Structure 1
Amino acid sequence: MSKHSQTLPKILLVDDDDSLLRLMTIRLEGEGYQVVSAQDGKEALKILNTQTFDAVLSDLRMPGLDGLSLFEEIMAQRKDIPVILMTAHGTIEDAVEATQRGVFGFLTKPIDHDNLRALLDRALSQSSGTQNSSWCQNIITRSLEMEQLLDQAYRVAQRDVSVLITGASGTGKELLANALHNASDRADKPFVAINCGALPENLLESELFGHTKGAFTGAVHEHQGLFREADGGTLFLDEIGDMPITLQVKLLRALQEQKIRPVGSSKQIPVNVRIISATHKDLAKEMANQNFREDLYYRLNVVNLSLPSLHERSEDIPLLARHLLQQSAERHGVKVSKFSDDAMQLLVTAPWPGNVRQLVNVVEQCVALTQTAVIPAHLVEQALSSSEQRWPTLTEARDAFEQSYLLKLLKMTDGNVTRAAELAGRNRTDMHKLMKKHDLQSSDFKQEAASA
């Protein structure tokens, strides 16, 4: 399970002196720390590659990789672990050099235990490992990569900055956004989410900023919008890469001025929200193709958290499968206890293009179809093959329909954009934008008509 569910802070202790290692381990364990020890820098790095720690306490002078070199190696991989150095040959120059490089603290031997405790308390107060685990209780993991991401997420949550979560579809971007909100000072205020790719532009604008009564046909009541609904809390903009350019301009203005203007109103309303956005798209590519504004990108991407695919965290598959099985069995009132060994082997080795969302789907299917307490391999095989022809998301379905609709329209009008726009009930500018989005050229349809 995630180290965020543990109660004892975990320290890596590094020293080439055996007797000192034993003595300090006894003392620190007596103080309520979990201690893992290493006799040199190389051994410490090996341990750091397989386990997560809340702090590293290392001797400065060691044969081979010394304390400062070990610190540099740690910083190259994990900038978030506080490192405290100890030395029997402490000089002011050593301490100055170490702290200038970013070492958290410096102690001279013989170690004063009160000083060590105070320094560890300060170091651990900035590490997420000792915090209440409830903020990320819905994220099930034992993957080192996910642990490191959660460490980073916890610290980012404490600072009121915009966060962009990237990762493939189905990796759990909304789950992470919700965890960030729970770990922040805004946790007691609303968390409001919207999928920017699921609504047409005019409806999305109204959903975000609200509208006045009579602002457009069907606006029979005033609508406050999600910015005001999330006031004081967090607004999660999922699939931000699908937001139309004209709306991106309005969003940027709202973020810069911290004010919104409802559709149909001339009044600006102050809002106080934290923005977390997410996308499965490559926004650098979208900016190069002029589908996404660079200024908005930098406003949203103050910190980037990148979620690994399920294939990249395959050690989590048994953990997640068992958790989802228990949840599904309880929900459906089915007496099913586990996957057979062969079934679990199939789950662990599957490619999971749909990530955690696909795993949820497979487990649900297995629970629905099983007639035994132990789910057999053939059921998993069946569920895996049907889940690969997965049901599309609303955004994917809408895009597929839009492209098919435009193709028919342009064929019917022999590539005449004005006529196509009239039939679609849109203006020429909108029609050109839609054609650009789906990489359609009017000349292709004119040539097709001429050759026919």
Structure 2
Amino acid sequence: MSARATAPIPAAARLLLIDDDTDLLRLLSMRLKANGYRVSTACSIASAHARLAMETFDLVLSDVRLPDGDGLTLFEDIRRHHPALPVIMITAHGSIPDAVDATTRGVADYLTKPFDGQALLDRIAKALGNASSTSIAEGDRADWCKAIISRSSRMRALLAEARLVAASDASVLILGESGTGKELLARAIHNASARAQGPFVAINCGAIPDQLLESELFGHVRGAFTGATSTHAGLIQAADGGTLFLDEIGDMPPALQIKLLRVLQERAVRPVGSTQASPVNLRILSATHRNLEDALGNGQFREDLYYRINVVSLDLPPLAERREDIPLLAEHFLRTLARRYGKDVNGFAADALETLAISQWPGNVRQLHNVVEQVCALSTTPLVPRSLVERALRAQPIEALSYAEAKQRFERNYLIQLLKLTAGNVTDAARLADRNRTEFYRLLQRHGLRPEPFRAENQPDEEQTRCPSRRPA
């Protein structure tokens, strides 16, 4: 063993080894597992992408020359989608200029075959130690959004925008399907704002009967109505000095929309039955899964209120558009639930995790949590088997959609698939849809889609590919 001190490494760090030399993969896997690492392997860029989409890793060790492309190109993809993931490159064709170029571009380290086994262990430990220090520093800075579990570039961009918005006191409208985590994002914005030390008060406007919602929001005085035996401060007053989050604001009755607009304009609230208004200092964050522009058109939502609450809008992507987060979320939920229930469950079998990643999630993150809770409650083994995941998925209730909702969801998903297929090229996507560019842009605008994010991401196929035979030397 080398006498050199190495950087401390995370316990049971997870490594991804990429090389088309199956004998070398086997040898490296045995050596690294013997040193306490958890190891997965891939023998091509395509299979590496599939692994990265399905699992979370602490470090990647990759050959430069692979049967379906250049390892440095793979590194650029990894840096774009997983910027904190360290990569060590290995090649039998190395040179000093290559090493300098690779490290300049951000590669954690560079080794030339043949290499000393202990030297490799030292390089891995050093890279993991550096990554761990960076992660801790980033974690300190990201306390405001630590409840949001994600590694997708879509969510990273959204959180960066939310962080900027939080610095102001502007009203924010959070859009997204049910179960995507709109309240979590609202809490994150509050935590990153100057109001973080004040209260965060949330209310679901669609979950409270109309006749009670007014009293809950605005409060009432004694004798304001039958049963009002005492004065009650509403949630608007409770949020004074902090943030009020109005979830499903699209379900708010028109009469209450007028009263809310007055609060926003006058910065004062008048309880039901009172003749006096009390000043309030609060920020309004709102959320809805409904299309408020359609609600404006049919008179269900006030235009003046819409522009008051929609100074900035943030669109949370559905779980189907951030599939790389599914394994991460599932493992996080399982650990949390196992502690809560006192279950000895350590994780998912590989095929069980794959089943979760490729399944449909109409209920988004909330539905995923429900499935994980079922398998955690029923599991009798340390690793959750695929059969238990499939059973939980079959037990999920079928989502009943209206014809209009089903048509809208299909149209939006169809447009997303076209943009993915064409890497955001609107001309090509319009041609495939048999529509002209103007009409296609109108469709994108209707569904709140832009081609730019698809040009940046260009996600690879997630399906695991089989290793080809080793190329001739």
Match of 1:139 in 2: 148
The answer on 1:198 being equivalent to 2:207 is yes
Written as runs of structure 1 = structure 2, the 5 A alignment for 1:430-445 is none
Written as runs of structure 1 = structure 2, the 5 A alignment for 1:28-67 is 50=81
The residue type equivalent to 1:160 in the other structure is D
The residue type equivalent to 1:330 in the other structure is R
Superposed CA deviations along residues 363-382 of structure 1, whole A, max 9, x for unmatched, are 00001111111111111011
> Which secondary structure state, in structure 2, belongs to the residue aligned with residue 388 of structure 1?
coil
Aligned partners of 1:328 and 1:364 also within 8 Å: yes
C-alpha spacing 1:367/1:47, structure 2 compared with 1 (3 Å): closer
In 2, Cα distance between equivalents of 1:358 and 1:195: 19
In 2, Cα distance between equivalents of 1:378 and 1:43: 34
Written as runs of structure 1 = structure 2, the 5 A alignment for 1:405-444 is none
Aligned partners of 1:192 and 1:234 also within 8 Å: yes
Match of 1:450 in 2: none
Deviation at 1:391, TM superposition (A): 11
Match of 1:293 in 2: 302
2:188 to 179, 193, 207: 179
1:334 to 332, 335, 343: 343
The answer on 1:319 being equivalent to 2:328 is yes
The answer on 1:274 being equivalent to 2:283 is yes
TM-score normalised to structure 1 length: 0.59
Q: Max radius of gyration: which structure?
A: 1
Superposed CA deviations along residues 244-303 of structure 1, whole A, max 9, x for unmatched, are 011101100110110111000010111011000000001011111110111111100000
Aligned partners of 1:52 and 1:144 also within 8 Å: no
The answer on 1:361 being equivalent to 2:370 is yes
Structure with the bigger RCO (C-alpha within 8 Å, sep 6+) is 2
> Which secondary structure state, in structure 2, belongs to the residue aligned with residue 164 of structure 1?
strand
Superposed CA deviations along residues 318-345 of structure 1, whole A, max 9, x for unmatched, are 1100000000000000000111111111
In 2, Cα distance between equivalents of 1:165 and 1:131: 25
Written as runs of structure 1 = structure 2, the 5 A alignment for 1:153-302 is 153-302=162-311
Moved more, 250-259 or 379-388: 379-388
1:382 to 388, 391, 394: 391
C-alpha spacing 1:321/1:349, structure 2 compared with 1 (3 Å): same
C-alpha spacing 1:259/1:155, structure 2 compared with 1 (3 Å): same
In 2, Cα distance between equivalents of 1:344 and 1:318: 6
Deviation at 1:44, TM superposition (A): 12
In 1, Cα distance between equivalents of 2:352 and 2:242: 43
In 2, Cα distance between equivalents of 1:363 and 1:51: 25
In 2, Cα distance between equivalents of 1:51 and 1:138: 19
In 2, Cα distance between equivalents of 1:240 and 1:221: 28
The residue type equivalent to 1:353 in the other structure is P
Match of 1:449 in 2: none
The residue type equivalent to 1:287 in the other structure is L
Deviation at 1:388, TM superposition (A): 3.4
C-alpha spacing 1:137/1:130, structure 2 compared with 1 (3 Å): closer
> Which secondary structure state, in structure 1, belongs to the residue aligned with residue 157 of structure 2?
helix
In 2, Cα distance between equivalents of 1:45 and 1:328: 36
In 2, Cα distance between equivalents of 1:362 and 1:45: 35
Deviation at 1:160, TM superposition (A): 0.5
> Which secondary structure state, in structure 1, belongs to the residue aligned with residue 174 of structure 2?
strand
Aligned partners of 2:81 and 2:152 also within 8 Å: no
TM-score normalised to structure 2 length: 0.56
Aligned partners of 1:135 and 1:183 also within 8 Å: yes
Aligned partners of 1:335 and 1:373 also within 8 Å: yes
Aligned partners of 2:82 and 2:151 also within 8 Å: no
In 1, Cα distance between equivalents of 2:75 and 2:167: 29
The answer on 1:350 being equivalent to 2:359 is yes
Aligned partners of 1:129 and 1:151 also within 8 Å: no
Deviation at 1:130, TM superposition (A): 9.0
Aligned partners of 1:235 and 1:274 also within 8 Å: yes
The number of residues matched between the two structures is 277
In 1, Cα distance between equivalents of 2:162 and 2:249: 20
State percent identity of aligned pairs.
57
**Structure 1 segments (4+ residues) deviating >4 Å:** 42-49, 128-131
In 1, Cα distance between equivalents of 2:299 and 2:165: 29
The residue type equivalent to 2:279 in the other structure is P
Match of 1:306 in 2: 315
In 1, Cα distance between equivalents of 2:75 and 2:334: 37
In 1, Cα distance between equivalents of 2:397 and 2:355: 14
In 2, Cα distance between equivalents of 1:183 and 1:325: 28
Unaligned runs of 5+ in 2: 1-72, 85-136, 402-473
The residue type equivalent to 1:281 in the other structure is R
The residue type equivalent to 1:50 in the other structure is H
In 1, Cα distance between equivalents of 2:283 and 2:371: 35
In 2, Cα distance between equivalents of 1:366 and 1:46: 34
> Which secondary structure state, in structure 2, belongs to the residue aligned with residue 387 of structure 1?
coil
Superposed CA deviations along residues 86-138 of structure 1, whole A, max 9, x for unmatched, are xxxxxxxxxxxxxxxxxxxxxxxxxxxxxxxxxxxxxxxxxx97972110010
Superposed CA deviations along residues 142-176 of structure 1, whole A, max 9, x for unmatched, are 00000000000011001011000000000000000
Deviation at 1:202, TM superposition (A): 2.3
In 1, Cα distance between equivalents of 2:177 and 2:191: 23
> Which secondary structure state, in structure 2, belongs to the residue aligned with residue 304 of structure 1?
strand
Deviation at 1:141, TM superposition (A): 0.6
The residue type equivalent to 2:81 in the other structure is T
Match of 1:57 in 2: none
The residue type equivalent to 1:293 in the other structure is R
